[in-house]
Structure 1
């Protein structure tokens, strides 16, 4: 079992863009154009570029070509533990630790950029490897009824993303407006 100290050296940043109702995708599970914005995309891409490894779910991996050849850790239930493939390291967190998965990369991994989807965002909310910062970008004026929530509890309990982050011990920083109708807040663990 991994402990917090096992990952003390690791910076873990989450990046999500949501609608006013805290959805990351429409009812078909796809990211609609209404959640796409050049300034937010540039912010997100800079975060991915800065990280040693990008973490994403299998569906996100399959839908987004890796044109920049970034190191990818793909969370999936299709493997039993860890499997190194040509297009990334495939990892089932039920069968292997994060440390085991990260040991497959050809570098010392000191930073992760978590790009989603929902189950991936949920995983890093708590436990030994939790977010250093979760960047919650919001597209104001957009709603996605019956869409996929950024966290499971958005759909299952009707909770707001900010309330979920607070319940897991995070506090929001200042809201930054990055474009008309687009803001971002960095959520960090509360000091104990």
Structure 2
């Protein structure tokens, strides 16, 4: 098993959505302070993990090693369009096998979505960084995790053994904050 730290990152609306009804992250959910927080975190990660519809689109994105979840292959394959990316079908191979193929067996894996991907790692997160935009609502949007909106994102994280740390205010004027949700025994970062 890789000695990887597993950290998750998402910004959600007040109603727990990460995208609008068209499954697109709207401008209303994009804040410079959160972008800076997210960018700094990914710049320190050794591996980025996401689904085929999620992407961070940052200046350093092409330099980052990544695993992209897809059902278009049987197990694991190189991504012909990105030499730093590995395609992974969880139905055909383990996460550890995908990490081995990507050449990353230690450090930090940053899980950046979407909802199915977040759900796959719920019992493995060391820390999940939940950013919240308290003034934004996305009716009929795409929930951040399986089980939302029936439960709040916080209730989902708590149900998987994570406990909240100190809330950090990222943007007071727009009421944007981030809370680290940690598994028992994890050190602060």
TM-score, normalised with respect to structure 1? 0.88
Q: Which residue of 2 aligns with 1:161?
A: 153
2:72 aligns to what?
Answer: 78
**Secondary structure of the residue that 1:49 maps to in structure 2?**
helix
Which of the numbers 21, 26, 38 marks the counterpart of 2:32?
38
Rounded to whole Å, the distance in 2 between the matches of 1:23 and 1:68 is 27
Distance in 2 (CA, whole Å) between partners of 1:176 and 1:59 is 28
Task: Write the distance in 1 (CA, Å) between the matches of 2:103 and 2:165.
Answer: 34
**Any conservation in 2 of the 1:54–1:115 contact (CA below 8 Å)?**
yes
104 and 144 in structure 1: CA distance in 2 versus 1, 3 angstrom threshold: same
**For residues 1-192 of structure 1, what are the structure 2 equivalents within 5 Å?**
6-7=1-2, 9-61=3-55, 64=57, 67-86=61-80, 87=82, 88-126=85-123, 130-155=124-149, 158-180=150-172, 181-191=175-185
CA contact (8 A) 1:102 1:109 kept: no
Q: CA deviation at 1:107?
A: 4.7
The answer to whether the Cα contact below 8 Å between 1:53 and 1:73 also exists between their aligned partners in 2 is yes
Shift of 1:111: 1.2
How many residues align structurally? Answer: 179
Normalized per residue, the structure richer in helix is 1
Counterpart secondary structure, 1:44: helix
CA RMSD of aligned residues (A): 1.6
Secondary structure of 1:59's aligned partner: coil
1:35-57: CA deviations, max 9, x gaps? 10011001101111111110010
Name stretches of at least 5 consecutive residues in structure 1 with no aligned partner: 1-5
